[in-house]
Amino acid sequence: MSSNRPDASENPLWEGLTNRPLPQPCTLVIFGATGDLTHRKLIPALYNLYSDGNLPPALTVVGFARREKSDDQFRAELKEASLKFSRQTITEELWDHFASCIHYHQSEFATPSGYTSLAKKLDEWDSQRGTRGNRIFYLAVAPDQFEVVLKNLKTSGLNNTNPESWTRVIVEKPFGTDLASARRLNTLVQGAFPESGTYRIDHYLGKETAQNIMVLRFANALFESAWNARYIHHIQITASELLGVEGRAGYYDHAGALRDMVQNHLLQLLCLTAMEPPVDLEADSIRDEKVKVLRSLRPITGKDVSAHVLRAQYGAGSINGKRVVAYRDEQGVQPESKTETFVALHVNIDNWRWAGVPFFIRVGKRLPKPGTEIAVHFKNVPQVLFNKTTEVLDENVLVIRIQPDEGVSLRMSAKLPGSSVRIEPVKMDFHYGTSFGKATPEAYERLLMDAMSGDATLFARRDEVEEAWKFIDSIREYWDHSGEEPAVYSAGTWGPSEADHLIRTFGTKWRRL
């Protein structure tokens, strides 16, 4: 493959993109290759990596799925999807060259001969392409297929590495539905692949701004010195979506927002926000620190769940002026479903740095505006000068915008020009797009590149996943047994009034995005 890597002489800020070594030649086998994830995310991400010159010179991509089709049909379908979903323009020449490394392998997931014939083809491609037996197996299948695929990979010997090559597995979410199932799945995966070769996807970790949290904190003396209970009043982490359940009711109605978003994405953001500085930037050093945060979460159990966690479900309403149906009226949702599409939580981290600082997490579908952010609210200044009598000063708020309009802003107080002292909040704002003049890569680009390079930093480790489930399980157990109905909010509003009440009891209110 020819190199299209960005030219750092055009913009010195692109230096970082060009000096990363290319991953070694390898083969990526995608199980579930005709599914949504492959079409919307994986192939467009690979095309973008290719177009930026970031793929190894020899790469084979193999789609493994049940339906009959030829390589050409498969490539044509992927091209159509990439035209829709790639962040870069698809040009004929580049696409043709890129697509020439893509093959289709038809088999049922449960048919052992499908794996032995795959093994044969992989050996052939290895010798034709020089991919040297380096392989990644990507499980982009429904969770109920994980077991059969893993077992067959093992029985067929495809999980084996010889000392000259490496074999890795990427496991898509959801990684279990509770602690017990996550443990079972971990045991299953580890029966076939070592932890060091296991890459559990949490696509939030691949988002550029999520990676910037550590840089912001540990590369700037200013922030880290005030990043503790002495200066911080509370932290709000919000993930708001306009979208509803979007044809995924079969999965979502069993999952709900707590499992779908909080157990993984939101707790990962919380960890990056709250963790101690790692001893170095090795994957395990960072993951060790994240696990410590998860282990310091104060469990929310029994009746405490009602006081600290609020769940709700969207009713009918309107989004961008268009009427939308209630969650219970969405296709595939049980008419009596209690599944939550909104959760608000108050979380305590019982460690030295965060003692007494409330963290609030809010996540919901069918809210008025899409956006994910972390808002760090600092304590107010002592009431001795400008705010001694009547003036109420707005506290400093540092907002890390994960998406959209990725960036960071800081609200501070400034004097309004004029002869009297009037103080108004003003904002210092950094936007990725304008500051770096380069489109932000998609999360899956980074994650695929890292998995090919053997860097597991942005993937969840076994203990992280299990600790997160431990925290989530006690909340779910209470909900399952309490018989309480979720609150209801109209689609297109910021959640139910009960969520406002939850945060008000801590003397604050939700930020408007």
Which residues in the 283-342 window bind ligand BG6 by CB under 6 A? none
What minimum distance in Å lies between the beta carbon of 207 and ligand BG6? 7
Cα separation of 316 and 420, whole Å? 50
**Among residues 203, 265, 308, 377, which one is catalytic?**
265
Q: How many Cβ atoms are within 10 Å of 232's Cβ, its own excluded? A: 22
Cα separation of 203 and 443, whole Å? 6
Q: Tell me: does residue 253 bind ligand BG6 (CB under 6 A).
A: no
Enumerate the β-bridge partners of residue 63: 30, 104
Cα separation of 170 and 30, whole Å? 9
Which CB atom, from 248 or from 511, has the smaller least distance to ligand BG6? 248
Which CB atom, from 408 or from 443, has the smaller least distance to ligand BG6? 443
Which residues in the 346-375 window bind ligand BG6 by CB under 6 A? 372
DSSP state for residue 205 in the 8-state scheme: G
Contact assessment for residue 323 and residue 492, using Cβ atoms and an 8 Å cutoff = no
Which residues in the 112-151 window bind ligand BG6 by CB under 6 A? none
Which CB atom, from 102 or from 326, has the smaller least distance to ligand BG6? 326
What minimum distance in Å lies between the beta carbon of 424 and ligand BG6? 33
Closest listed residue to residue 90, CA positions, set 140, 47, 143, 27: 47
Which CB atom, from 106 or from 181, has the smaller least distance to ligand BG6? 181
Which CB atom, from 241 or from 340, has the smaller least distance to ligand BG6? 241
Which residues in the 163-222 window bind ligand BG6 by CB under 6 A? 173, 203
Which residues in the 254-293 window bind ligand BG6 by CB under 6 A? 260
Residue with CB nearest ligand BG6? 260
Contact assessment for residue 440 and residue 432, using Cβ atoms and an 8 Å cutoff = yes
CA distances from 377 to 2, 310, 357 (A): 48, 22, 10
Enclosing H/E stretch for 73 = helix 71-85
* 203 catalytically annotated: no
Number of residues that bind ligand BG6 (CB under 6 A): 5
What minimum distance in Å lies between the beta carbon of 297 and ligand BG6? 21
What minimum distance in Å lies between the beta carbon of 501 and ligand BG6? 26
Q: Which residues contact 239 (CB under 8 A, 6 or more apart)?
A: 261, 265, 266, 362, 363, 364, 371, 372
Q: Tell me: does residue 241 bind ligand BG6 (CB under 6 A).
A: yes
Residues taking part in catalysis:
265
Q: Which residues bind ligand BG6 (CB under 6 A)?
A: 173, 203, 241, 260, 372
